[in-house]
């Protein structure tokens, strides 16, 4: 019945007949509605782009699993509503341009009041090393915190709930929900898995609930750790370990000056039932690695396969999935190659496991929860997505590139992000390659005449000189200049002048071989390189070109003789090194013009 209700709600969401659902297990009815609290997004730590440091390299885009990095021209930003706070972007940025920003001001003010309780997660032992955990805790007390807890009580509460679920053989598939990164990814990207999430709060949310029962409902709570979305609705401020260091400095507290023993009786640090993250130790000991009732997955790459199995109604048992190897593997704690060192530090700092329960036996807390579907907005129209893919270009086989260089798995996903204003063509490698090829073509071809540009002419002339000196073969250069072109331009207008230039360009293109090159030198001047042709051969070609240009005028409606050209020809002799062949052709051109034009010299 419970699964049927879940699937009905999922169908309603996906078909657009509802806007939002809260899924609540029928076996755990909700209590009275909680009193409203002021919504403040910064109770969770934000990831922000440091604009002065950001160079737009887009490394963060390529590693973000939530597609939460938006690119608008040269500006890069993180969409807070989509960010799942996995932290992968921080070490991926080679320029240190991503900041983690918690509510340090609020946390400092609460510590100064002397009434706040600090939840300092066990990973602090690795962050503050080589300072002893006792020194860190003493420093937190000296800074003004009323009590310092370690997340152990929340782990115990969650482990109790999982033991109850484990005893029920009817659930089929159950996905671990202790990690907020996994939960948020499922809610945003894999709604078909929402009904299978274990209906249990995260350990920090459970701990916050327990502490409010212990100290009173109005006790202010500050969270310091790396699971930066954990219990966001239940704490009054969330900060990173780096920000806790700054808080201690602001309160004139130095960790290294603290005694290496507890100055106050510490709050409960022992575990009885749980392991770090809230998994019950008996379950982990009971199920072997190949168990069909227990599957361990690490990394978010497995969510797609889980979603497919859920759609096909394949029972997977209990799925222990985390985005990494636990909180000690979080990117904010340091490089992955130091993981086992951090584990060793934390293991050595933890007290021995308690033989008896560490929770009050009659605590009466309900740490079950439901999960809301998230609507990510309207999908872009299919034809708009297709148009973006066409703009990018396709592979030689006619399929989308889907190379993933942009940070999105497919061209369709990139197109949707672009249409939603979250991406730019600058991220697309195939598109940029097409633009580069087009720019190179534009730089090589004169837009008006279709002939080569001056830059290409220079490169080709240098190549021909080198080739001629190696092989001993001559080549000729022909300089072409339209006679009285300024007068024609002034008398008939620039549009008609452009028609003449285009027609002359076509005649030159047809007059030369594929091995030769005709280029626009500038304005109404052209240069032709005739490969393996001596000066006498160049004069013959020049005379044919002169006659062809003379015939352009009447074809365009001009009077005979209004469109003519003067041509100068020079031959390059390999034996005469150092000669300026272009200058020689230019001097010949001026001799042709000196005779009245429409001539070859």
Q: Look at residues 41, 37, 38, 42 and name the one whose alpha carbon lies nearest to residue 105.
A: 42
pLDDT digits 0-9 by tens, 288-319: 656 778 888 888 888 888 888 888 888 888 88
Q: How far apart are CA 237 and CA 233, in angstroms?
A: 10
Q: Look at residues 592, 596, 535 and name the one whose alpha carbon lies nearest to residue 566.
A: 592
Q: Are 580 and 558 in contact (CB under 8 A)?
A: no
Res 176 pLDDT > 80: yes
Residue with the two structure tokens 């969330």: 238
Of 524, 580, 583, 586, the catalytic one is 524
pLDDT digits 0-9 by tens, 104-118: 999 999 999 999 999
Q: How far apart are CA 172 and CA 312, in angstroms?
A: 13
> Is 524 annotated as catalytic?
yes
| Burial class (CB within 10 angstroms; exposed 0-12, middle 13-18, buried 19+) of 367 | buried
Given the candidates 3.10.180.10, 3.30.930.10, 3.30.70.270, 3.30.230.10, the CATH classification of the domain at 445-594 is: 3.30.70.270
Res 270 pLDDT > 60: yes
Q: What pLDDT does residue 14 have?
A: 42
Q: Look at residues 128, 40, 66, 56 and name the one whose alpha carbon lies nearest to residue 98.
A: 56
Both tokens of 46, joined, read 């934000």
Q: How far apart are CA 601 and CA 479, in angstroms?
A: 10
- At 544, the pLDDT band (50, 70, 90 cuts) reads very high
> What is each CA distance from 307 to 10, 189, 190, 340, in whole angstroms?
13, 10, 7, 31
Q: What pLDDT does residue 441 have?
A: 67
Q: How far apart are CA 153 and CA 133, in angstroms?
A: 18
Res 132 pLDDT > 70: yes
Q: How far apart are CA 568 and CA 542, in angstroms?
A: 8
| Pairing outcome for strands 517-522 and 525-530 | antiparallel
336 alpha carbon, distance to own chain's centre: 20
Q: What are phi and psi of 316, to 5 degrees?
A: -110, -5
Residue with the two structure tokens 């044919």: 544
Q: How many other β-carbons are positioned within 10 Å of the β-carbon of residue 235?
A: 26
Res 10 pLDDT > 50: no
Q: How far apart are CA 262 and CA 279, in angstroms?
A: 28
> What is each CA distance from 491 to 84, 487, 551, 558, 597, in whole angstroms?
69, 6, 20, 12, 19
Residue 96 DSSP SS3: coil
The mean predicted confidence, pLDDT, of the chain is 84
pLDDT digits 0-9 by tens, 311-358: 888 888 888 888 888 888 888 888 889 999 999 999 998 889 888 988
- At 423, the pLDDT band (50, 70, 90 cuts) reads confident
Q: What pLDDT does residue 13 have?
A: 42
Residue with the two structure tokens 């004069």: 539
Both tokens of 115, joined, read 């009434």
Q: How far apart are CA 404 and CA 414, in angstroms?
A: 9
Res 4 pLDDT > 80: no
Q: How far apart are CA 457 and CA 410, in angstroms?
A: 42
Q: What are phi and psi of 372, to 5 degrees?
A: -90, 140
Q: Which of 436-445, 481-490, 551-560 has the lowest mean pLDDT?
A: 436-445
Of 205 and 422, the structure prediction assigns the larger pLDDT to: 205
Res 287 pLDDT > 70: no
Q: Which neighbouring-strand residues pair with 298?
A: 322
> Which value, in Å, is the radius of gyration of the alpha carbons in the chain?
37
- At 42, the pLDDT band (50, 70, 90 cuts) reads very low
Q: How many percent of the chain have pLDDT more than 70?
A: 89
DSSP conformational letter for 238: E
Q: What pLDDT does residue 417 have?
A: 80
Q: What is the mean pLDDT of residues 476-486?
A: 92
Q: Are 238 and 264 in contact (CB under 8 A)?
A: no
DSSP conformational letter for 510: H
Q: Are 119 and 244 in contact (CB under 8 A)?
A: no
Q: How far apart are CA 419 and CA 587, in angstroms?
A: 58
Which residues, at least 6 apart from 65, have a Cβ–Cβ distance to it below 8 Å?
Answer: 84, 86, 88, 185, 300, 323
CATH 3.30.70.270 domain span(s) along the chain: 445-594
| b/e code 101-133 from CB counts within 10 Å (16+ = b) | ebbbebbbebbeeeebbbbbbbbbbbbbeebbb
Q: How far apart are CA 384 and CA 378, in angstroms?
A: 13
């Amino acid at each position: 019945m419970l699964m049927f209700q879940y699937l009905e709600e999922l169908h309603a969401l996906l078909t657009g007949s509802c806007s939002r659902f809260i899924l609540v297990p029928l076996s755990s009815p909700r209590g009275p509605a909680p009193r409203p609290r002021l919504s403040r997004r910064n109770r969770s730590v934000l990831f922000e782009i440091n604009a002065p440091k950001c160079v737009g390299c887009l490394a963060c885009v390529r590693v973000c699993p939530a597609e939460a990095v938006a690119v608008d021209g040269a500006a890069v930003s993180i969409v807070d509503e989509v960010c799942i706070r996995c932290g992968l972007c921080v070490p991926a940025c080679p320029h240190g341009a991503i900041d983690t920003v918690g509510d340090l001001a609020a946390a400092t003010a609460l510590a100064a009041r002397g009434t706040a309780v600090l939840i300092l997660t066990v990973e602090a032992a690795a962050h503050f090393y080589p300072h002893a955990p006792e020194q860190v805790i003493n420093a937190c007390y000296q800074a003004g915190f009323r009590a310092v807890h370690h997340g152990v009580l929340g782990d115990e509460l969650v482990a109790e709930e999982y033991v109850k679920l484990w005893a029920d053989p009817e659930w089929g598939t159950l996905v671990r929900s202790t990690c907020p990164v996994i939960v948020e990814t499922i809610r945003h990207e894999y709604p078909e898995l929402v009904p299978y999430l274990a209906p249990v709060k995260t350990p920090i949310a459970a701990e916050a609930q327990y502490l409010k029962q212990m100290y009173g409902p109005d006790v202010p709570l500050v969270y310091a750790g790396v699971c930066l979305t954990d219990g966001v609705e239940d704490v009054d401020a969330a900060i990173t370990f780096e920000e806790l260091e700054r808080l201690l400095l602001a309160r004139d507290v130095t960790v290294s000056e603290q005694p290496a023993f507890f100055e106050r009786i510490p709050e409960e640090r022992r575990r009885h039932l749980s392991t770090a993250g809230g998994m019950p130790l008996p379950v982990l000991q009971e199920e072997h690695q190949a168990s069909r009732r227990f599957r361990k997955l690490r990394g978010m790459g497995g969510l797609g396969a889980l979603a497919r199995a859920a759609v096909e109604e394949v029972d997977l048992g209990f799925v222990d999935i985390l985005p990494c190897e636990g909180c000690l593997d979080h990117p904010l704690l340091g490089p992955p190659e130091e993981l086992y060192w951090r584990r060793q530090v934390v293991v050595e700092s933890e007290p021995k496991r308690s033989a008896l329960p560490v929770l009050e036996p009659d605590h009466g807390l309900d740490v079950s929860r439901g999960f809301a579907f998230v609507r990510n907005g309207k999908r872009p129209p299919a034809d708009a997505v297709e148009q973006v893919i066409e703009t990018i270009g396709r592979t030689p086989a006619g399929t989308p590139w889907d190379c993933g260089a942009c940070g999105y798995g497919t061209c369709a996903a990139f197109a949707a992000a672009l249409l939603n204003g979250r991406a730019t063509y600058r991220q697309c490698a195939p598109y940029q390659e097409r633009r580069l090829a087009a720019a190179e073509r534009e730089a090589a071809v004169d837009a008006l005449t279709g002939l080569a540009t001056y830059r290409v002419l220079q490169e080709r002339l240098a190549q021909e000189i080198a080739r001629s000196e190696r092989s001993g073969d001559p080549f000729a250069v022909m300089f072409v200049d339209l006679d009285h072109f300024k007068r024609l331009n002034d008398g008939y207008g620039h549009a008609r002048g452009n028609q003449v230039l285009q027609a002359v360009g076509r005649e030159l293109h047809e007059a030369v071989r594929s091995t030769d090159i005709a280029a626009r030198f500038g304005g109404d001047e052209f240069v032709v390189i005739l490969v393996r042709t001596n000066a006498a051969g160049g004069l013959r070609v020049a005379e044919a070109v002169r006659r062809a240009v003379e015939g352009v005028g009447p074809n365009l409606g001009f009077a005979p003789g209004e469109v003519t050209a003067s041509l100068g020809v020079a031959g390059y002799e390999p034996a005469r090194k150092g000669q300026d062949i272009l200058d020689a052709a230019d001097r010949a051109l001026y001799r042709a013009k000196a005779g009245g034009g429409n001539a070859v010299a």
